[in-house]
Structure 1
């Protein structure tokens, strides 16, 4: 009886497993019969999209938390994409790398400082006259308020100012905390500026080496695609930076020319401030436009200030809705509507930094995705060289032409090695039952096969 019990135990277990499998199949069949196929496909896509958006949300959250580190790095990358061609040009002409880096970095700082000095120096020279004209304009404004239908006299204006001062005194604690906040912000700006200069210095000194280190973190099979996509994205970033300079120049010329033809003094400093402010989305345009309108109001009166305001608004509208979408769209290969949408979305998510980096980040991601999806690295010798075994390279900053030659040499060596192995190894397909082939001696026919009777 024990033997019979032991022999039947596995059968009962298998029957239970078969029963569970049958229940699962029935359940799957019921689901397929009950839930339409379109709903099942939509559900499968939905949870995958939710997972992707969740990862993206966590990534954006981390970037916003680390913004004091991320923003200086992005600014350094933008500036580096502009001055790296100058640095490489000097290196190819025989200038030592250290000297080339110093000239490129100091030259960039000198250009920006020169523009700021040009604008600030003329404003400082005319500051006394601006002060006197501002006081005179304020007195004329008080006269206009007294003679206007509002009939606001000096006593009423003094009372309004006194109530404003009392309100400021009541909210002194909030203002003090705000001042501390401004001081903290200024400290963050100073730290970010130092980090930007430090990062820019190393990007110029060993940018290709840093990129090769990043690429080698990926598996060998993925390195050609990553390297080629990164270089393509870098070219797109450089195109964006050059186009942004062109757009800022057009803004500066438009507003500066308007100020010049309206007879507004300090037209050149106004143009310089507009050029520099164009690199700061939203706030830069508002502040520089306000300066231009204020100077027109102080020096030329109300109606000239109104005309200047119209000029500023027209130039900014053309820049925001025509130049930015068209020029940026063609430079970074993004549709103009997408440019407007990503700038708006970036401003909503991260304010001014979001509006500043929305277009370049989107353009770089778009170009890298298209490069990988099109498998363009398969025809890119420089990208294919990243998959080759690491060789000694005395030049830490190799030229793309040299990398192409290195890839060609590696490919030739691989082909010659394969040909040599094919020549020395036996070929089983060519052997016949009547022949014997060895790697050292050629195959010789047997005597029976070589006889005339055969």
Structure 2
């Protein structure tokens, strides 16, 4: 029996399934290897990814200063110093508010525990004082038995703090070079792309990073609105630790869905312990109203069509990131999805094949679709002598390309 006879004896559907199957296995194996490499280098990959997000947030300020004839090095220094000063001031304010509010919260928590014990003793359960005392002694015994583990955990926490500080320094160091030498970094990365598709990859990279800029800025704006609105509600209701809880809501806004649940749940829990069920229900209503405002007004208005993602895609991305890489995976899942979505759309669009990168710098991210009739995809840039990366509002951080990579 020849090979052709054997091939004709196998149903076509089975041959197609086998071909797709082994290719899928190769892709899964490649993704697994990449995942293992990234997990091994997590101490480097995560700080670089955070620096990239911060660069997307701070690049507009650097670009504005450069457009006003401020040297790029000076502009980077001003933005970095100003950002660090602002971050330090906010963190100091939040920590001081937390420290000042903890004693009152502790007193209210003690009163709440006493009320719970009274209800357990005098309520429908009728638990005796001896049973409550035995439960307290069991808790103390468990703590005593696990004192060694707790001490080891404290030492591990100290080591983790040291690693965190080192990673923070790496974030700052990387961010400086992203803001200062981003154009050169992008040019260097483009050298690894074949010359016949370099312009197309350049456009896809510009559009994907422009989507990242839009996503980061919009998410920061939404986080500020959420934190201010919920913080004002907590302050009006007299809930302790209103400022730290508002800061937690701000940080949680960068992790879609899970962050809102954690920040909102903490606010409701503190309101329940401190002020009772009525205050907790009011806080819950405020959080739901703010989330509705965010989902139906702020995000569609600020993000636009370019980085608008289906809610199911967002949920699945966050869940997958959380399972694969924990909190870091949940944080970077949606930005990565937005970048991939924009890059794939650009690579698949025939209209982006010969687009001038200067046009991408000066266009909004949502204009990545086919051009309008009569729109010139081949503008004359021979007389443009302005430095690359300066014009426009949505160009990604450090996305520039040598002139020879631009098709004529």
TM-score greater than 0.5 by the shorter chain: yes
Instruction: Name the CA distance, whole Å, in 2 between partners of 1:59 and 1:408.
Output: 29
Inter-partner Cα distance in structure 2 for 1:362 and 1:301 = 41
**2:307/2:338 contact within 8 Å kept:** yes
What's 1:379 paired with? 355
Q: CA RMSD in A?
A: 3.5
The residue aligned with 1:177 is 152
1:105 and 2:83 matched: no
Return the offset for 1:332. 1.3
Normalized against structure 2, the TM-score is what?
0.79
In the alignment of these two chains, the number of paired residues is: 375
Aligned equivalent of 1:168, options 138, 143, 146: 143
Structure 1: any 5+ residue segments left out of the alignment?
1-25, 385-393, 412-454
Contact persistence 2:211–2:342 (CA under 8 A): yes
SS of residue paired to 1:365 = helix
Q: Which has the higher contact order (CA 8 A, sep 6+)?
A: 2
Offset at residue 349 of structure 1 (A): 1.5
Q: Check the 8 A contact 1:247/1:319 in 2, yes or no.
A: no
- For 1:315-348, what per-residue CA distance to the aligned partner results, in whole angstroms no more than 9, with x for missing partners? 6875898689967684514333222221222112
**1:38 pairs with 2:13:** yes
Give the corresponding residue for 2:333.
Answer: 358
Measured after TM superposition, the shift of residue 254 of structure 1 is: 4.6
**Contact conserved, 1:325 with 1:340, CA < 8 A, in 2?**
no
Secondary structure of the residue that 1:150 maps to in structure 2? coil
| Higher share in helix | 1
Residues 286-295 or 34-43, more deviating = 286-295
Structure 2 residue 239 is the aligned partner of structure 1 residue 264? yes
Q: Relative to structure 1, is the Cα distance of residues 280 and 367 closer, same or farther in structure 2, using a 3 angstrom cutoff?
A: closer
Find the counterpart in structure 2 of residue 57 from structure 1: 32
Residue 336 in 1 paired to residue 346 in 2? no
Please say if residues 72 and 196 of structure 1, whose CA atoms lie closer than 8 Å, have aligned partners that are also in contact: yes
Cα gap change, 1:321/1:174 in structure 2, threshold over 3 Å: closer, same or farther?
farther
1:419: which partner in 2? Answer: none
* Deviations 1:85-124 (CA, angstroms, capped at 9, x unpaired): 1101101102232221122112222333333333333333
Aligned to 1:82, which of 50, 57, 64? Answer: 57
Deviation at 1:378?
Answer: 0.9
Is the 1:240–1:328 contact (alpha carbons within 8 Å) kept by the matching residues of 2?
yes
Question: Offset at 1:276?
Answer: 2.6
Whole-angstrom distance in 2 between the partners of 1:243 and 1:282: 16
Per the alignment, in what secondary structure is the counterpart of residue 156 of structure 2?
A: helix
- Are 2:187 and 2:402, in contact at CA under 8 Å, matched by a contact in 1? no
Provide closer, same or farther for how the CA distance between residues 163 and 217 of structure 1 changes in structure 2, counting only shifts above 3 A. Answer: same
C-alpha separation in 1, matches of 2:3 and 2:132: 81
TM-score (norm 1): 0.72
Are the aligned partners of 1:236 and 1:364 in contact in 2 as well (CA < 8 Å)? yes
Tell me how far 1:397 sits from its aligned partner.
Answer: 6.0
Q: Is the 1:274–1:289 Cα contact (8 Å) retained in structure 2?
A: yes
